[in-house]
Amino acid sequence: MTELSIEKLHEMLKKGEVTSEELINEALRKSHEIQKTCNAFVTIMDDIKPGEVTDDLLSGIPYGIKDNYSTKDILSTGSSNTLKDYVPFFDATAVANLKKHGAVAVNKTALDEFGMGGTGTTAHTGIIRNPWDLKRMCAGSSSGSAAAVAAGVYPYALGSDTGDSIRKPAAFCGIVGYKPTYGMISRYGLFPFASSLDHCGVLTRNVKDAAIVVDAMKGIDKYDQTSWDSSNIHLYDSINGNVKGKKLFYIKEIVDVSNYPDASNELKKHLEIFNQTIEKLRNIGVSVEEISFDKELLNAIPSVYVCLSCAEATSNMSNLTGIIFGPRGHGDGVMDMIKDHRTKGFSPLIKRRFVIGSYILQKENQERYFVNAGRVRRLIVDKMKELFKEYDALILPVSTGVAPYIDGSKDELNSDNTAILEEHLQIGNFGGFPSITIPNGFIDNLPVGINITGNCYDDVNVLNLAFALESQMNYKNMIAGGHYE
Amino acid sequence: MSKYKAVIGLEMHCELKSNSKVFSSAKNSYDEVANVNVRPVDMAFPGTLPVVNKECIQKALKMSMVLNCKQPKYMYFDRKNYYYPDLPKGFQITQMHDPVGIDGHITIECNGYDKEVLIHDIHLEEDAASLDHYFDVSLIDYNRAGVPLLELVTEPCLNSAEEAVAFLETMRRIYQYCDVSEADTKKGQIRCDVNVSILAPDDKELGTKVEIKNINSFGNVYDAIVYEIKRQSELKNAGRYDEVMQETRRFDEESGTTIFMRSKVDAIDYKYFVEPNIPKYKIDENWLEEIRKTIPVLPRERKIKYINELGLSEYDATIIVKEKDYADYFEECINLGMDAKTAANWLTVQIIAYLSKHDIELKDFYLKPIYLKQIIDELGKGTISSKQAKEIFFKALEEEKEPKNFISKDNAQISDQKVIEDIINKILLDNSKQVAEYKNGKTNLFDYFVGQVMKETRGKANPVVTKEILKDKLDN
């Protein structure tokens, strides 16, 4: 049952065809199965009570929470040893909002430590594996959430997205990943990575479910000054599939195969699928135009992202000292204790990012790296906003193809000239733009994704386009392992 | 004193008065019990976010205006990053790029002369937790973590310990007048850093600047500056000025000396950057105007008015403007139509002595100006003597009843000439023998007649009037 959509499950619950208890038991049973194969969870809440079924679409339905959301009385580790025993005494606002809607959390999903990775290989509980092929990664950092939703454990799981941490795993796992406009969902209680880029969001198996969940998560919050009042926005109710006359654009410098002289067959196929999908959109009356974007700006995206995210992260995670929470370090004096806690607690990847962030913020380097990165960010966002005056949204393929293998050389495509294809989703974080990834077909029985990104506050438009496109394809409500081609 | 000119700059940290903390909804109040005014954000639990308290911004802007500073167009904050056990987030939210005020100035009075003090900037930030160190443990109290702090930085424009303390005293008083802070050094609400260098008359460049950090009383500021000038001067006199290093020192209260803490070479790079969780916002001009309207008349202006317009002595005026409560009380008296000098006299002598004896504040003092007026009015009319007035003053305070209750007809002094004259006539008639003796030169009998009048009126006859009439009758 838990592989069904929220709408369907709600209907069945209301009719009494299934009970909340049955759904939760099934979700828990599947959690344990998936844990064995994918290692997707930090905590499975075996003793969770079923929820009351009301008229609320989410009531009584199980879901998963990424482990970087603060959950009251439930272990919340951020997949880091620095918080391996941390049990918060308050709920993140987004989680509290879902509780009010009667949603029932059944597990906490594993992630790249504090969201600072894109592979799902750096969680303190070990590597998270892709349910479509256990030898492959889910991408990250919402790896556990993506794996669990793709495996049909429940209809949705919460994610967070600083660079592409919802939208890339969604692509590699054949599901939907949506991060709404910055500030639509409060970040209070989300363990921060880079505050100006961090977004809350959700992973689902269809577009309407994403709208339903974000409707429940969102809202202005007195504990997050960057949140805004969206009470006049009703995402789910606004989805009507009416997209005739909408104008989309894609960026030539990213999707033209001639940009990649060493393109593998996989990449060629990936771009071919993208072009076929664009035709599908045109067939339903959506215009899709190719535009040219300053290549220099595009090439700067990954380094701008590294500069800004590492700098903010270094500062954001300075609260992890082991003094107030987390395992107390050892040493003579408090500074040595802090050093010991952090040396033992963080993975090498995070430490590397801290070193970069710290270097960038140093007085003598700030102007050259941090301030300039901020300027380039502004240039990119301004250019996007200019384009959004003319176009409803940007559409691009996600990544260079399917999920890479966990072991061995990642893949031969990972050369510098495809970096832009791997990293362009970060534009959505630079501008706080609403952005959604949906499945876009298969290469060798592995899913690939496509992304639609719109202007700030234009979430309804983005969801509508995604819904219309989803309706033109057969990849809705996919479960890993099924046969869809 | 030294032959060198001292050049002093001050950094004055003052805790603001507000309902809640500057970036947290926890209560901002001094508490003896540790860790009671704490919200998750004050201990930096993962995922917590700062939310700006508008009341604090308003008060900071108010002080920026009082100091004649320029206010920024946009309000935003910066992070100052460093590790210390009293700093839960690992950074302090402060203002580095665009503080609430820059380039200000204010005139202060020091030993009878006026001095213009230049203000480099004034900025709003959060306080750290407080630490208590014991033999083998340290305790952290987060009540203070996140308490709003205003940091005021002067230009190096002060030239003596007296000027520095006069400036601090002036500012303390202004904070209180503006209701921005209690500014109580005993509660640790004011802390200062002091920069001192010295300059020979023919020196072209400023001397080496030495910083003395975290001084918690004005007396210590004075002592630290005096010591530091002496130390630097002696080294310079001995031709060892190169031993004065650009460094940070602390003041040691016991020895009255400054002690080396760290060299400027080891200065921490705070890696300032804009706080991303507090959106930058435009400061509304209308709001600034509203804030400007809340600035009260400051002590300096009040003092000038009291002397020039109300005819008070410099001494009385100085005492009255010392505290806003005093000045407000005094002005209320004037508004009620009391004579300025009389009101000033009652305030500076009786009332302040009473407050100090009972260790209470004027706002808790029972005799409001309206009640004081009852006493002063009767005294003016002559219905009560000044001795009686004082008695009524204390009686009213003791019983917390309006003075008029003690100015009943029975108790009232008899000042009516006619009434007293009648009584005197009767007494002189009844004591013809004594009258004759008086007239024969036994003038010390005068007090006997006064005594008889008092006996007759049970002490209520106005003694001055009584004596006048008696003298008139007996001597003529």
Nearest to B49 among A223, A311, A324 (CB): A223
Architecture of domain B417-475 in this structure = Orthogonal Bundle (1.10)
Find, in chain B, the residue whose alpha carbon is nearest to that of A365: B271
Share the mean pLDDT of chain A: 95
* Mean pLDDT computed over A61-84: 98
| pLDDT surpassing 60 at residue B409 | no
Which residue matches tokens 């804030």? B291
Instruction: Calculate what percentage of chain B has a pLDDT beyond 70.
Output: 99
Task: Give the best residue of B41, B45, B281 to mutate against chain A (max A CB count within 10 A).
Answer: B45
pLDDT of residue A412: 44
Share the mean pLDDT of chain B: 92
Cβ–Cβ below 8 Å for A191 and B85: no
Q: How far, in Å, CA of A396 to CA of A358, rounded?
A: 33
B257: left (phi over 0), alpha (psi -120 to 50) or beta: beta
Nearest to A70 among B47, B138, B279 (CB): B47
Distance from CA of A114 to the nearest CA of B (A): 11
Cβ–Cβ below 8 Å for B81 and A315: yes
Question: Which of 87-146 (A) contact B at CB < 8 A?
Answer: 88-90, 92
Cβ–Cβ below 8 Å for B45 and A315: no
Q: How far, in Å, CA of B362 to CA of B325, rounded?
A: 6
Residues on chain B touching A192 (C-beta within 8 angstroms): 46-47
Cβ–Cβ below 8 Å for A195 and B50: no
Query: Which amino acid is present at B438?
Result: Y
Residues A462-483: tens digit of each pLDDT: 999 999 999 999 999 999 976 5
Cβ–Cβ below 8 Å for A361 and B138: no
Nearest to B46 among A78, A222, A334 (CB): A78
pLDDT of residue B263: 86
Residue spans of the domains in chain B: they are 5-287, 417-475
pLDDT of residue A409: 45
For residue A433, which of A373, A382, A376 has the smallest C-alpha distance? A382
Cβ–Cβ below 8 Å for B45 and A70: yes
Distance from CA of B74 to the nearest CA of A (A): 16
Residues A141-190: tens digit of each pLDDT: 999 999 999 999 999 999 999 999 999 999 999 999 999 999 999 999 99
Residues on chain B touching A325 (C-beta within 8 angstroms): 45-46
Cβ–Cβ below 8 Å for B273 and A361: yes
Residues on chain B touching A89 (C-beta within 8 angstroms): 40
pLDDT of residue A415: 55
Distance from CA of B39 to the nearest CA of A (A): 11
pLDDT of residue A413: 41
Of A4-18, B270-284, B393-407, minimum mean pLDDT range: B393-407
Count the Cβ atoms, other than its own, within 10 Å of residue B193.
Answer: 18
Which ranges of B294-385 would DSSP assign to H, the alpha helix? 299-308, 314-321, 324-335, 340-345, 352-358, 369-381
Nearest to A83 among B46, B81, B279 (CB): B46
In angstroms, the Cα distances linking B104 to A152, A188, A446 are: 65, 38, 66
Cβ–Cβ below 8 Å for B277 and A225: yes
Q: What is the DSSP string of A262-310?
A: T--HHHHHHHHHHHHHHHHHHHTT-EEEEE---HHHHHHHHHHHHHHHH
Cβ–Cβ below 8 Å for A188 and B79: no
Angle, in degrees to the nearest 10, between helices B54-66 and B285-293: 70
Residues on chain A touching B40 (C-beta within 8 angstroms): 89-90
pLDDT of residue A418: 87
pLDDT of residue B162: 97
pLDDT of residue A414: 47
In angstroms, the Cα distances linking B380 to A232, A330, B76, B386 are: 71, 78, 59, 10
Of A58-62, A277-281, B470-474, minimum mean pLDDT range: B470-474
Residues on chain A touching B43 (C-beta within 8 angstroms): 324
- Give the number of A-B residue pairs with CB atoms closer than 8 Å: 98
Residues B288-328: tens digit of each pLDDT: 999 999 999 999 999 999 999 999 999 999 999 988 899 99
| pLDDT surpassing 50 at residue B173 | yes
| pLDDT surpassing 50 at residue B158 | yes
* Mean pLDDT computed over A312-324: 96
Cβ–Cβ below 8 Å for A225 and B52: yes
Q: How far, in Å, CA of B285 to CA of B296, rounded?
A: 20
Q: Which residues contact A352 (CB under 8 A, 6 or more apart)?
A: none
* Mean pLDDT computed over B158-184: 95
Q: How far, in Å, CA of A377 to CA of A428, rounded?
A: 11
Give the rounded distance of the alpha carbon of A16 from its chain centre: 33
Number of alpha carbons in the 13 Å side-chain half-sphere of residue A278 = 21
Find, in chain A, the residue whose alpha carbon is nearest to that of B93: A315
Bond preceding residue A409 cis, omega within 30 of 0: no
Question: Which of 369-398 (A) contact B at CB < 8 A?
Answer: 370
| pLDDT surpassing 90 at residue B459 | no
Residues on chain A touching B277 (C-beta within 8 angstroms): 195, 224-226
| pLDDT surpassing 90 at residue A310 | yes
Residues on chain B touching A225 (C-beta within 8 angstroms): 49-52, 277-279
Cβ–Cβ below 8 Å for A363 and B271: yes
Taking the Cβ of residue A325 and every Cβ of chain B, the question of whether any pair is shorter than 8 Å is answered with yes
pLDDT of residue B415: 74
Nearest to A319 among B88, B269, B271 (CB): B88
* Mean pLDDT computed over A429-438: 98
Pairing of strands A247-251, A287-291: parallel
Residues B440-454: tens digit of each pLDDT: 888 888 889 888 888
Residues of A recognised as catalytic: 66, 141, 165
Alpha-carbon dihedral sign for residues B121, B127, B133, B136: negative
Query: For A144-276, where are the E strands, in sequence order?
Result: 156-161, 176-179, 199-204, 247-251
Q: Which residues contact B242 (CB under 8 A, 6 or more apart)?
A: none
pLDDT of residue B463: 82
Cβ–Cβ below 8 Å for B279 and A226: yes
Residues on chain B touching A223 (C-beta within 8 angstroms): 48-49, 51
Residue B412 banded pLDDT, cuts 50, 70, 90: low
C-beta separation of A404 from A137 below 8 A = yes
Distance from CA of B250 to the nearest CA of A (A): 21
In angstroms, how far is the first alpha carbon of chain B from the final one? 70
Nearest to A191 among B46, B88, B138 (CB): B46
Find, in chain B, the residue whose alpha carbon is nearest to that of A76: B46
Taking the Cβ of residue A195 and every Cβ of chain B, the question of whether any pair is shorter than 8 Å is answered with yes
Nearest to B91 among A187, A318, A370 (CB): A318
In angstroms, the Cα distances linking B70 to A30, B61, B66, B102, B392 are: 63, 10, 11, 5, 52
User: Which of the two residues, A67 and B363, has the higher pLDDT score?
Assistant: A67
C-beta separation of A432 from A457 below 8 A = no
Which residue matches tokens 């430590």? A113
Cβ–Cβ below 8 Å for B47 and A187: yes
Cβ–Cβ below 8 Å for B46 and A319: yes
Taking the Cβ of residue A69 and every Cβ of chain B, the question of whether any pair is shorter than 8 Å is answered with yes
R_g of chain B, CA atoms, integer Å: 31
Cβ–Cβ below 8 Å for B90 and A223: no
C-beta separation of A139 from A163 below 8 A = no
Structural element, H or E, at residue A64? strand A62-66
Residue B106 banded pLDDT, cuts 50, 70, 90: very high
Taking the Cβ of residue A312 and every Cβ of chain B, the question of whether any pair is shorter than 8 Å is answered with yes
C-beta separation of A16 from A218 below 8 A = no
Domains of chain A: 6-246 (3.90.1300.10)
Nearest to B279 among A225, A318, A319 (CB): A225
Instruction: Calculate what percentage of chain B has a pLDDT beyond 90.
Output: 71
